[in-house]
């Protein structure tokens, strides 16, 4: 179904998507409409323009493709599905997402992948093509965050990366290691074997946005994991 978003507000758009028996929707002239596809499953949204905040919040299996930039909080508390952004996206991308995949061709804002977590066979993936802002993977509890830093001149992550991290992995493609990591994060150069573990996601990234997987994986990657030797546990005494 083709929908001209200029004629509808976000509630109407979501209602059409939710209530239609059709599965595929092409939304044209999207300009800041929030919460598109929130909580849906089994749908495919192809968005032309710039969707507003909380795109695909609580997404439960739908696929959302954005031809343009996305704003803040895409995939908030996402449970399953895929969001593919042919452009940049804003802050708190994938907040507390539990499963599914987010691919962003360009840059992303602050607090990407904050509190993302995994559970049994639910395993979330965020892949950012360009650079990200501060607090990448804050409170990360599971899943994988990959930052390719394509076109970046220096390390493509901001400050305070991995603050509060207690699970999952991050892979950062960069000649130099991220600076100013908290002591609860371990940072090592990824081995070839470890790099192969993300090959599947690199292939998908290339399939969405073009490029060469081998070239990407030839570069130096830094793998960040929680340092279990220095947990966040504050010592408590029962009173």
Partner 1 sequence: MNPLFEVIRDPDRCIKCRVCERQCANEVHKYDPDLDKMISDPMTCVDCQRCVCLCPTHALKIRPNENQFRENANWSHQTMDEIYKQADSGGVLLSAMGNPKDYPVYWDKILLNASQVTNPPIDPLREPMETKTFLGKKSQKITYDENGKAHYEKTPYLELDVPIMFSAMSFGSISKNAHESLARAATELGTYYNTGEGGLHEDFYKYGKNTICQVASGRFGVFKGYLDAGAAIEIKMGQGAKPGIGGHLPGMKINDEISKTRMIPKGTDAISPAPHHDIYSIEDLRQLVFSLKEATNWEKPVIVKIAAVHNVAAIASGVARSGADIIAIDGFRGGTGAAPTRIRDNVGIPIELALASVDARLRDEGIRNDVSVVVGGSCRSAADVVKAIALGADAVYIATAALLALGCHLCRSCNTGKCNWGIATQRADLVKRLNPEIGYQRLVNLVTAWDHEIKEIMGGMGINSIEALRGNRLMLRGVGLTQKELDILGIQHAGE
Q: Find the part of the chain contacting partner 1 (CB under 8 A) among 22-30, 31-39, 173-181, 188-196.
A: 31-39
Q: Please report how close the Cβ of residue 100 comes to partner 1 at its closest, in angstroms.
A: 11
Describe the strand order of the beta sheet including 141-147 as a list of residue ranges.
Answer: 2-4, 24-31, 44-50, 60-67, 80-85, 101-104, 125-128, 141-147, 167-173, 221-226, 185-189
Angle at 68 between CA 63 and CA 72, to 5 degrees: 75
Q: Which of 3, 10, 146, 217 contacts partner 1 by CB under 8 A?
A: 10
92 binds partner 1 (CB under 8 A): yes
Q: Which of 27, 82, 96, 202 contacts partner 1 by CB under 8 A?
A: 96
Question: Which one, 151 or 231, has the nearer CB to partner 1?
Answer: 231
Max CA separation in the chain (angstroms): 63
What length does the chain have?
Answer: 239
141 binds partner 1 (CB under 8 A): yes
- Report which of 124, 121, 170 is spatially closest to residue 145, judged by C-alpha positions: 170
**Binding residues for partner 1 restricted to 97-126, rule: CB under 8 A:** 98, 111, 114-115, 117-120, 122
Q: Find the part of the chain contacting partner 1 (CB under 8 A) among 138-146, 190-198, 201-209, 217-225.
A: 138-146
**Binding residues for partner 1 restricted to 60-79, rule: CB under 8 A:** 60, 72-73, 76-77, 79
Listed in sequence order, the residues at least 6 apart from 158 whose beta carbon sits closer than 8 Å to its beta carbon are: 110, 132, 133, 134, 135, 136
Q: Which of 109, 133, 142, 178 contacts partner 1 by CB under 8 A?
A: 142
33 binds partner 1 (CB under 8 A): no
201 binds partner 1 (CB under 8 A): no
**N-to-C CA span, the chain:** 62
9 binds partner 1 (CB under 8 A): no
Three state DSSP letters for 137-201: CCCCEEEEEEECCCCCCCCCCCCCCCCCCCEEEEEEECCCCCCCCCCCEEEEECCHHHHHHCHHH
Q: Which of 41, 179, 191, 219 contacts partner 1 by CB under 8 A?
A: 41
- Report which of 127, 137, 130 is spatially closest to residue 207, judged by C-alpha positions: 127
Query: Which residues of this chain interact with partner 1, rule CB under 8 A?
Result: 10-11, 14-15, 18, 34-35, 38-39, 41, 53-54, 57-58, 60, 72-73, 76-77, 79, 91-92, 95-96, 98, 111, 114-115, 117-120, 122, 135, 138-139, 141-142, 164, 166-167, 231-239
């Amino acid at each position: 179904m083709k929908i001209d978003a200029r004629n509808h507000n976000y509630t109407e758009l979501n209602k059409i998507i939710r209530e239609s028996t059709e599965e595929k929707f092409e939304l044209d002239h999207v300009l800041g409409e929030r919460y598109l596809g929130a909580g849906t499953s089994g749908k495919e949204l192809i968005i032309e323009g710039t969707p507003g905040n909380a795109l695909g919040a609580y997404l439960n299996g739908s696929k959302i493709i954005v031809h343009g930039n996305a704003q803040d909080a895409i995939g908030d508390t996402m449970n399953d599905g895929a969001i593919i952004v042919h452009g940049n996206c804003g802050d708190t991308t994938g907040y507390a997402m539990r499963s599914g995949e987010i691919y962003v061709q360009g840059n992303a804002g602050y607090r990407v992948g904050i509190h993302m977590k995994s559970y049994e066979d639910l395993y979330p993936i965020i892949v950012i093509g360009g650079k990200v802002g501060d607090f990448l993977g804050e409170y990360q509890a599971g899943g994988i965050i990959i930052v390719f830093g394509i076109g970046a001149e220096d390390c493509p992550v901001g400050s305070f990366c991995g603050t509060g991290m207690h699970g999952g992995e991050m892979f950062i493609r960069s000649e130099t290691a991220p600076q100013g990591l908290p002591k609860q994060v371990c940072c090592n150069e990824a081995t070839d074997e470890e790099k192969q573990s993300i090959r599947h996601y690199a292939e998908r990234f290339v399939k969405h946005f073009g490029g060469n997987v081998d070239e990407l994986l030839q570069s130096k990657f830094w793998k960040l994991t929680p340092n279990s030797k220095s947990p966040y546990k504050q010592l408590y005494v029962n009173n």
